[in-house]
Amino acid sequence: MQKKNINYFNLMRCICMIGIVFDHFNALYLQYNVKFHFLNRISLYGNLGWGGVGTAIFFMISGAVLFYNYEDKSIDLKQFYFNRFIKMCPILYITHLIFFCIASIIKDNLMYSITIKSIFNLIIGKALVGEWFTTVILFCYMIFPILKFLYKRYKILTTIILFTIFIVNQELLLFVCGNKWASYTNGIFEFWLGIILVNCHRKLKKKYIPVFILILIFMPYISLNSIFDLNGTWFYIPTIITSILIFILISYTNVNNVFVNNVSKYSYCIYLIHHQIMYMIFPLFIVHIKTQLQCFLSFVLLSILIYLLSEKFYNINIKLIKLIKSLIGKNEKIIQNNES
């Protein structure tokens, strides 16, 4: 595949990360019975929250980027899994450990009890506020070589099977690891959609853009649960359709600026730390918030803090990756010397 117009992945990450942070900020304000009208209006779109839409698109981006990079390459499984691990897990454990200690000191007791379950949750990425996305995306990375094979050999059949599982599980709600819509089946299907979309992008003509925009305007106001009196998470179907349309529309762009690229670059670290910063620092603000202006200022200050700290953690992660690679390289040389 010709590698061009990769900038749209950065714009997707930037928009989705901002949407997720906005949505979580809005939920936190509402938790404290504070209505911040600015956030409430932009984080909710019809029946959808940008948190759900942004998360779905992040799964699609992950599938799209991996397939984009590995479509014409054979996968060295050892190197592939090693790269996924050092990019995600060390900084994941360090951020959780740091904030765990800070939270314990601030509250003068352990914020979360240390049990076998909590330690296991830390290992798989669900520590502290339970960032379920990490667990599911790590699983998607684990099965990516299989998904690539299936896409090459059985694309239509695999799509039908994954789509059927996705639809059926909106009612059964199996393999859930967070809110009801936060399931492995949803994440895997969205990851698979990313693989499909990055290839379909080349075939979709720009003349369809007005149609996509028109559907996008009305889709969030459709509630399948209300229309058909359904239980389960059928309300998530418009979320998926909205996410697909946004993915397609952004894929026509070629934005390249410092802010977009930086938010994209720091997006994983923003994801890891934003909840912790909100939950630790927001209570210090809330007692002083009386007006919409104060809401806005507290939101801006915390957003700046999250951005600056994510940059620091990103740099820590880069150093960690270099350190781990150097240690692995030294160990391999020692083993080779001993064998010789």
Closest CA to 106 of 307, 270, 269, 284: 284
Residue 277 included in any domain? no
Return the H-helix or E-strand segment holding 62: helix 50-70
Residue 332 included in any domain? no
Q: Is the pLDDT of residue 150 over 90?
A: yes
The answer to whether 270 touches 21, Cβ cutoff 8 Å, is: yes
Mean pLDDT (whole number) for 188-195: 98
The answer to whether 294 touches 29, Cβ cutoff 8 Å, is: no
The answer to whether 117 touches 165, Cβ cutoff 8 Å, is: no
Comparing 160-169, 228-237, 266-275, 290-299, which segment has the lowest mean pLDDT?
228-237
Whole-number Å distance between alpha carbons of 269 and 119: 21
For the chain, what is the domain count? 1
For 89-127, b/e burial (b = at least 16 CB within 10 A) is bbbbeebbeebbeebeeeeeeebeeeeeeeeebbebbbb
Residue 288 included in any domain? no
pLDDT tens per residue, range 257-299: 999 999 999 999 999 999 888 888 888 878 888 899 999 999 9
Residue 68 included in any domain? yes
Residue 320 included in any domain? no
What pTM value is reported for the model?
A: 0.90
Residue 232 included in any domain? yes
- Predicted confidence at residue 56, as pLDDT, reads 95
Residue 21 included in any domain? no
Mean pLDDT (whole number) for 86-99: 88
Whole-number Å distance between alpha carbons of 151 and 145: 10
Residue 74 included in any domain? yes
- Predicted confidence at residue 250, as pLDDT, reads 94
pLDDT tens per residue, range 24-59: 999 888 888 888 888 888 777 766 788 889 999 999
Closest CA to 54 of 22, 28, 29: 22
- Predicted confidence at residue 338, as pLDDT, reads 43
pLDDT tier at 332, thresholds 50, 70, 90: low
Mean pLDDT (whole number) for 182-188: 93
Which residues form the domain of 248? 52-253
